[in-house]
Structure 1
Amino acid sequence: MREPRDKIFITCAVTGNLTTPEQTPHLPITPEQIADACLGAAEAGAAVVHIHVRDPSTGRPSMELAYYREVVERIRARDNQLILNITTGPGGRFVPSPDEPRIAAPGTTLMAPENRVEHIAILKPDICTIDLNTMNSGKEVVINTPTNVRRMAKVMRDACVKPEVELFDSGDIALMHDMLKDGSLAGPVLCSFVMGVRYGFQPSPETVIYARNLLPPDAEFTAIGIGRSAFTAVAQSYLAGGHVRVGLEDAVYLSRGELAPSNAAMVAKARRIVEDLGGQVVGPREARAIIGLPTRLADAGVA
């Protein structure tokens, strides 16, 4: 049984892929807003920022390399140590046509796995996510086949970028073990349990303990709560021996009926929860040691 850690790091997921501007006026949209949100989260105590980008004119999710590059350059111009975790989640969604399910309907984003990680190979962030889930998502399907995730993992490995493995159900953990066995992933693994997505892990202390006990002994993990479970998951993850994550990707409320005014405010609340429970929140330098990342030199260039 793992005890709560003395030191943990906070990840802030600042904008995501599914939160909409209609849900909150505080959602960062432009590369400048996303970079500022990351830096504000760092000032509040986040050691890691998880980055998606959006089309500045529409607010819709984007995979445009230029937007990712601008976000990274803006952050690195002001903070050289903050750990950058860039998504590779977009590109796995399939919407079947009602009358011919083999044919993709509008909303499908499914693409070749190498295209989903092209920006990782170019920008070489500290970390990038790799989703192992194939599952129902609303009325649609997310598809990440074992073959395709191995192809994505190879690009990450060749770029010397550490994967953060996102796990949506117990079968994903089984796939992760297989990938560790065949060398597609290298340990110690960094992973997250995503709880609260319909048809995946549901948020509860029992889920966190169950999922944690399926991991390799040396794994570093975070239990993520979506929506109303965002802050209860902070306590549950910490008490189970994990790290924590919050942000406007995961939830838009700071408390019941109160919209979070910023990602930084969510990080500050998560920090209070951890500290009130007896934990210590560490900055990027110590988080790099925990994760197994090199410390960046003060005069280093863009990640």
Structure 2
Amino acid sequence: MIEIERPTAICVAPNGGRLTKADHPSLPLGPADLARTAKECLDAGACLIHVHVRDQDGQHVLDATAYRDVIDAIGRAVGNEMIVQVTSEALGRYAPQEQIAVIKDTRPEAVSLALREFVPTEAHETEFASFLSWLQAEQIFPQIILYDADETLRLDEYHSRGLIPWNQLPVLFVLGRYTVGQRSSPADLMPFLDGSKPRFAHWSVCAFGAREAACVTTAALLGGHVRVGFENNRQLADGAIAKSNGELVAGVSKSLLGLGLHSASAADLRHAWQEL
């Protein structure tokens, strides 16, 4: 009998902060669109949705009211069967203090934090540590976004210095950078998993381009979790344009099942995070 490994969490990142309907006509932007996407992706195997919101001009914005509207809409669509993770991404518009203020006002269940944005200099370390302590006290799950392998060393150093109040933090490895024509490869994961780099109990991967599915499936086979969706990629594994975010999720979920893995539920993911 094949022994089933711990479940793999599939996150969908359905919209990002840069894309428009010109990039894909089914890009979900408002609360109703995001709620429908959440339900579709839940049915396809996702347990976590990473959301961006826009202002009236369609520009990326960090706004507590907009976040609460999306969280409420998704909750009505899927109940507690999907975790809503809001982004704190600055996109060049926000300083760390503003990012922190919006998250404190929103009080989401989960939030992503780019290390390089929150700690651009040593002078920001104390404020970052204080914010993490607040998140822990409020039982808000953070995920630290790491854009290159050297950032794993920085995060590990902060932990050794007592700046991080958890034994472990969930992290997201970004394979490649946000550049025009970016195409990620499974080999891009190797620097993050090099023996000289720290190990993380709960790590996920996102990737760009048509090899997104290959990248995240490789991560899952090596013990990681996965993030897919229009934010980083609109192509299926065969190069065709996906009709929806749900189609991307379904393709990866089917691949994982065929390899003896299975998708985590929101309850599974909450339990895993609480154990860190």
TM-score, structure 1 normalization: 0.78
- Measured after TM superposition, the shift of residue 221 of structure 1 is 0.6
- Measured after TM superposition, the shift of residue 218 of structure 1 is 4.9
- Measured after TM superposition, the shift of residue 212 of structure 1 is 2.6
Percentage identity across paired residues of the two chains: 24
The 8 Å contact of residues 176 and 188 in structure 2, kept in 1 or not, is answered as no
Residues 245-283 of structure 1: CA deviation (Å, up to 9, x unaligned): 101111112244532221111111110111111101121
Other-structure match for 1:30: 30
Is it true that 1:164 corresponds to 2:143 in the alignment?
yes
The 8 Å contact of residues 184 and 212 in structure 2, kept in 1 or not, is answered as no
Cα 1:123–1:279, aligned 2, differ >3 Å: closer, same or farther?
Answer: same
> Cα RMSD between the aligned structures?
2.8
Q: What SS is found at the alignment partner of 1:77?
A: helix
Bigger proportion of residues as strand:
1
Take 2:125 and 2:43, find their aligned partners in 1: how far apart are those partners? 34
Shifted more, 75-84 versus 168-177: the winner is 75-84
Q: What SS is found at the alignment partner of 1:58?
A: coil
Is it true that 1:122 corresponds to 2:105 in the alignment?
yes
Structure 1 residues 7-18: aligned runs within 5 Å: 7-18=7-18
- Measured after TM superposition, the shift of residue 223 of structure 1 is 1.7
Cα 1:19–1:146, aligned 2, differ >3 Å: closer, same or farther?
Answer: farther
Q: What SS is found at the alignment partner of 1:74?
A: helix
The 8 Å contact of residues 229 and 245 in structure 2, kept in 1 or not, is answered as yes
Other-structure match for 1:84: 84
Structure 1 residues 66-81: aligned runs within 5 Å: 66-78=65-77, 79-81=79-81
Q: What SS is found at the alignment partner of 2:22?
A: coil
Q: What SS is found at the alignment partner of 2:211?
A: helix
Residues 167-220 of structure 1: CA deviation (Å, up to 9, x unaligned): 111221111112212233222220011012158x98444432331345544521
Take 1:113 and 1:6, find their aligned partners in 2: how far apart are those partners? 35
Q: What SS is found at the alignment partner of 1:133?
A: helix
Q: What SS is found at the alignment partner of 2:210?
A: helix
Is it true that 1:197 corresponds to 2:171 in the alignment?
no
Alignment: residue pair count: 266
Bigger proportion of residues as helix:
2
The 8 Å contact of residues 184 and 209 in structure 2, kept in 1 or not, is answered as no
Of 142, 153, 160 in structure 2, the residue corresponding to residue 181 of structure 1 is 160
For structure 2, the residue ranges without an aligned partner over 5 or more in a row are: none
State the AA in 2 paired with 1:235.
T
Cα 1:74–1:150, aligned 2, differ >3 Å: closer, same or farther?
Answer: farther
Take 2:129 and 2:27, find their aligned partners in 1: how far apart are those partners? 30
Shifted more, 116-125 versus 166-175: the winner is 116-125
Q: What SS is found at the alignment partner of 1:49?
A: strand
For structure 1, the residue ranges without an aligned partner over 5 or more in a row are: 94-108, 135-141, 295-303
Is it true that 1:211 corresponds to 2:157 in the alignment?
no
